[in-house]
Structures are given as structure tokens and as C-alpha cells.
Amino acid sequence: MAFPESAPKYNHYGDVTFIRGGVLDRFSIDLDVSKRLRKGHYWFWVFEPTPHMFEIQCDHCKKRHSPKNIECSATLGLMSSFKNPNVLYSRVEEYDNVSPISLSMVEYDGKINGCVVHLSPDNIYARSNK
């Protein structure tokens, strides 16, 4: 498989597609890279929350918690409801929550890493494909 040689620059990290339960990692789908992978496999750039973001249970902000984000559990003073580490919780309208067959992390610079996510054909990954 042809993985990208380097991760995007920190400031060019894409929109958050999913948040992984438990660890609250941010997953941003890269459809161009995904096209180079085997069928059913999708490429994501993954941003790990800072210890502070994790501690306050920030689960809706991109790279830094914003107290103005009223969707975020940290703003509401709640524990995140994204608890299951086997679920990628959708953050965008186009996708449902998914439970991948497997996740394979690919390390880059530690701030942004890659991940190959294998989804079963019946795991509807895009509402637009329904």
C-alpha cells in the first residue's frame, strides 16, 4: 500500500470526520489517499487530543477546546458520551457512526498520525452512498 510520505502540516489538518470513543482521537478522512488503498479501507489523519482536552472531556472541538462550542461536553461540564473505543462517532452530517473491522495506526510526527480503517461493506460509511 502506498501511504503518504509525510503528514499534513499541523495547521492544514482537515475537518474532523469522527471522534474515537474513549480516547477522543480526532479522525479526519482523506479520500484521495483512501482511493489508493484496498476496497473497504479508508485513510484518516489522526490528531490526538492534548492531555488538557482529554481531562476536560473536549469531544467536539478540532484541535483546541473552545468554550463557545456548545456541542462540546467540556463546555457543558459533562463526561463525553463517546465512550466505546470500537466506535468512531460521526462529527459531520455525511457520515454515520461506524464500528471498524480494524484500525491500523501509521506513525508520522506524533502530533498528526495516519490510520487505515477497514470497514465492512454493510457498515454504511457515507450517508450520501445510501
- Least Å distance between CB 77 and Zn ion? 11
Smallest separation (angstroms) from Zn ion to the CB of 27: 16
Q: Cβ of residue 62: shortest distance to Zn ion, in angstroms?
A: 9
Q: Give the three-state DSSP class for 74.
A: helix
C-alpha dist (Å) from residue 71 to 21, 38, 83: 16, 35, 16
Answer yes or no whether residue 19 interacts with Zn ion by CB under 5 A: no
User: Residue 127 and residue 42: Cα distance in Å, rounded?
Assistant: 16
Alpha helix segments (H runs only) across the chain:
31-34, 51-55, 73-76
Q: Which is nearer to Zn ion, 62 or 118 (CB)?
A: 62
Q: Taking phi first (over 0 means left), then psi (-120 to 50 degrees means alpha), and beta for anything else, what does residue 42 get?
A: beta
Cα separation, 26 vs 75, whole angstroms = 18
- Contact map string, positions 69 to 98, toward Zn ion, x by CB under 5 A: ---x-x------------------------
Can you tell me which of 61, 112, 115, 116 binds Zn ion, judged by CB under 5 A?
61
Q: How far is the CB of 73 from Zn ion (least distance, A)?
A: 7
Q: Of 65, 98, 112, 114, which one interacts with Zn ion (CB under 5 A)?
A: 65
Q: Does 24 bind Zn ion (CB under 5 A)?
A: no
Query: What is the binding site for Zn ion (CB under 5 A)?
Result: 58, 61, 65, 72, 74
